[in-house]
Amino acid sequence: MSNVSFLIYVLMMFFFFTVPSASSKGDHRVPSKHVALFVFGDSVFDPGNNNFRNISNDSKANFWPYGETFFKFPTGRYTDGRILPDFLSMYLRIPLWKPYLAPGKHNLLHGANFASGGAAVLPEYSVEGPVSFSEQLSYFEDVAGLLKKQIGDEEAKEMLKRAVYLSSLGGIDILFSDVYINGTQVQRQELINMVIGNITQGIKKIYAIGGRKFAFQNVGPIGCMPVVRQILLLESVSSDECYEDLLNLATLHNDALAKAIKELETQLPGFKYLIYDYYNLLLDRIKNPSEYGFKEGLIGCCGNGTFRGYSCGVEPYELCSEPSEYVWFDGGHPTEHAYAQLAKLVWKGGQKATKPFNMKQLFELD
């Protein structure tokens, strides 16, 4: 098996009903300052939806040591504690996320989190198991219908208009393709164009249902993920090097995303947005960990191999004693401590972190 094929196999293992009803208790009228957040994306935003999918345990994070620091038990989040949407919910003073696919009643008045580890944008990379972007959109459409029944058409329309729609998309499509290894520049651009095209179509669907405020997390520095470095760099280069072709492809995607979202602003009346620069904010912590209170930026806290790139929680594996000293918890996901820093910047950071608004400002917009 080639290194590329092996990487794609490991990533597929790594990143990977009933429609829940809204709560029926109390007065369901939406208060004037009510806030709701709807979350779409992959494993960096997944609060445990994969726990409720018919997929192998290798594609879940429902075992120790995931969840060890905050929850004290594995929740399905791909880190040691809380993820970025959890911190945003705390800033918004709404409950921490319950996976949308979890059985039982849900208070959908605060929104819902549809994200799923391994979720792709393109159908060809939407492997069986994770909740693809198109399926997440379908779930959101169901929720919008439930809200109309619960609080009435006009109240639901206002709620959906005031809500923010947060997404983290595209990274899985880049990782599961092989154009960063064997592709020409034309093929790389074609991949990005298809991914961005599908994302914008999804945003237009949310807009048609009633969404007006959108928050985009761009693709992170995936060439620096311990799992990528472990497999593609083959430990044959300096220990602080990242895989440049993947970094370049992520940058290509992020530039195209910014351009496409700017175009949507001109096409869709009332469309407001922010783009949070996950790529550069995380890369700076990877390259300069001590400036942000970390001791290690390139090696995972949990995993196997020189860079602890994979097999976190699967014997034999190593586990650091203090996750807060690491940027990465496992081979592809930041620690709770890193997420906490990033969430603070998303919430009230300046233009270098998130523009043209931060999340607090976006929620406050009429």
Catalytic residue numbers read 43, 330, 333
Structure tokens at 161: 């208009």
Count each helix (H run) and each strand (E run) in the chain, helices first. Answer: 12, 8
- Ordered DSSP codes for 100-129: TTSSS-B-GGGEEE---TT--SSGGG--SS
Integer Cα distance of 112 and 99 in angstroms: 8
Q: Where does residue 104 rank: exposed (0-12), middle (13-18), buried (19+ CB within 10 A)?
A: exposed
| SS3 label, residue 237 | coil
Give the chain's end-to-end CA distance (angstroms, integer).
Answer: 55
Q: How far is CA 293 from CA 327, 346, 366, in A?
A: 10, 19, 37
Q: Please answer whether residues 329 and 108 qualify as being in contact, where contact means their C-beta atoms are separated by less than 8 angstroms.
A: no
Integer Cα distance of 229 and 331 in angstroms: 9
